[in-house]
Amino acid sequence: RKEVEQDPGPFNVPEGATVAFNCTYSNSASQSFFWYRQDCRKEPKLLMSVYSSGNEDGRFTAQLNRASQYISLLIRDSKLSDSATYLCVVNPSQGSSNTGKLIFGQGTTLQVKP
């Protein structure tokens, strides 16, 4: 089983649509979870951290289900500028063994069309 698994897409949606991405992770001891955004040939940029209680940042909502080892990202009212690859990222370490290592999923491509 892959450490972090995502549907690669692409997801093609019209402007204004709501779109959801899912991700599963294999290490049940993982403590930290993130969504990063990557534009073509650019560096990953943090979109948001994912907390156990779920969290929202404007049009973006992230959810974590530890029991199912499942992370989601919901984008409401999609904009053309949301077109990018969305990376599900997990830090599998914890406590004193936490070295900051990040494990990336392969990414889900979103294309928002006018």
Partner 1 sequence: EPEVTQTPSHQVTQMGQEVILRCVPISNHLYFYWYRQILGQKVEFLVSFYNNEISEKSEIFDDQFSVERPDGSNFTLKIRSTKLEDSAMYFCASSDPWVGETQYFGPGTRLLVL
- Taking the complex as a whole, the smallest distance from the CB of residue 24 to partner 1 amounts, in Å, to 15
Residue labelled with tokens 């930290």: 32
The rounded distance, in Å, linking the Cα atoms of 50 and 72 is 9
Which residues contact partner 1 by CB under 8 A?
A: 32, 34, 38, 41-46, 49, 87, 91, 93, 99-107
The rounded distance, in Å, linking the Cα atoms of 35 and 15 is 21
Which residue from 43, 42, 81 is spatially nearest to 59, judged by alpha carbons?
A: 81
- Taking the complex as a whole, the smallest distance from the CB of residue 59 to partner 1 amounts, in Å, to 20
**Residues 61/74, Cβ–Cβ less than 8 Å:** yes
- Taking the complex as a whole, the smallest distance from the CB of residue 66 to partner 1 amounts, in Å, to 17
